[in-house]
Amino acid sequence: MSVYEKVVATLATTFVRSESLARILALAFESGKNVLLWGPGGHGKSEMVQAALACVAEEANIFVQSFGEGMDEATLWGGLDFAALERDKRLVYHPENSFLNRPYAVFEEMFDAPASVLLGLKDTLTARKLRKGSQVFAMKTNVIIAITNKNPDELSDIGPAAAALVERFPLQLKVDWPSYKSADYLELFHKVAPRLTGADLNGTTGVLAEVMAKASEGGEVVSPRTAVHALGIVKTAAALRGSSKVEKSDLLDLTFLPGMEAFAANLRAELDAAYERSQAEGRLVEAERKFQSLLATFNEAGGSPVKLLQVAKRLRSFEDEVAGLKVTDNLADRRKKLREVTAERAGAAQQAAFDNTRI
């Protein structure tokens, strides 16, 4: 199995929308090019990187460094040699304790570091060695994966050091979802729900996915991480009631989720509407199954006029049943299509009966 196939398979077991990230990481591992992953928080950038690295490298060969305002060059280069500072009054570092001594490095929120650190890092990546006065240490790092929430196109606002550092990361990918619709969240829930303990979701995943999508319509999307937290919250809410199954009332605790504050006032009404849509879809799905069953009897009727007329009668009756099926507005076209195809099949069954009748 190739590196690419390993990474794809590894990420697909746990994450959704991971194909592009798997591709770019495989390119990095095979080419030795640095990678910059950026995008909104909560989309699993760090988790996916760690999972991908675990399938291609030993833990001892991976170095993870968190950057921030408190980051300094001493931390970046492995710490100060205090003995040398006391003895020789000069700055000497311990690069053997830094990322420079590992094949793979992950830099979390790299662009949150001070400009002086970014400038020093840029110079080291360019030379592929640490050069501080008389101290020189060859860089052994094959690939650096930098992770940030900041758009690289806007890093010039931070300063020239950040903008110059971006050029040392030729592979770049924005990690987000193309859309945040109920189907997207539902796919996520189906992936993670089997790994969560607690109360049975009791068919609420579709409702929960719809609520997440509705809350995301205002522009501030509910991140995948927050959506997964939502699953845990409703399971816990059911447990607080002493129930082993999630009910609609448990979803009201979603008001405590970050990003749901503006949605909280209408949550009960949205839940009622979501449950109504879910139940309506359930009824329609059941009707579609019944139609398939009727089609099977049509195919089994062969050339028997009596059986074909019986099938036609059942289909006409089912057509009336579909017409009276209570659905929500979003399912009206689907119901109409089912009714139309039922009428068409009923007519075909009746015509087949006539065609197979001798006069």
Cβ atoms 91, 85 nearer than 8 A: yes
What is the pLDDT, as a whole number, of residue 349? 87
CATH topology of domain 3-174: Rossmann fold (3.40.50)
> Where exactly are the structural domains of the chain?
3-174, 182-259, 280-355
Q: What is the mean pLDDT of the chain?
A: 89
Q: Which residues pair with 132 in a beta bridge?
A: 135
| CB neighbour burial string for 237-270, b if at least 16 within 10 angstroms, e if fewer | bbeeeeeeebeeebbebbeebebbeebeeebeeb
DSSP one-letter code for 57: S
CB-based contacts of 356: which residues, under 8 Å, 6+ apart? Answer: 303, 304, 305, 308
Q: What angle is formed at CA 41 by the lines to CA 36 and CA 44, rounded to 5 degrees?
A: 75
CB-based contacts of 219: which residues, under 8 Å, 6+ apart? Answer: none
DSSP states of 255-286 = GGSTT-GGGGGGHHHHHHHHHHHHHHHHHHHH
Q: Which of these ranges, 19-33, 198-212, 264-278, has the smallest mean pLDDT?
A: 264-278
The proportion of the chain whose per-residue pLDDT surpasses 90, expressed as a percent, equals 54
Question: Which residue, among 214, 219, 217, has the nearest Cα to 230 in the 3D structure?
Answer: 214
- Per-residue pLDDT reduced to its tens digit, 59-95: 999 999 999 878 999 999 998 877 766 676 678 889 9
Rg (CA), the chain: 30
Cβ neighbours around 146 below 10 Å, total: 26
pTM check: above 0.75 = yes
DSSP one-letter code for 356: T
- Per-residue pLDDT reduced to its tens digit, 283-324: 888 999 999 998 888 888 888 888 888 988 999 999 899 888
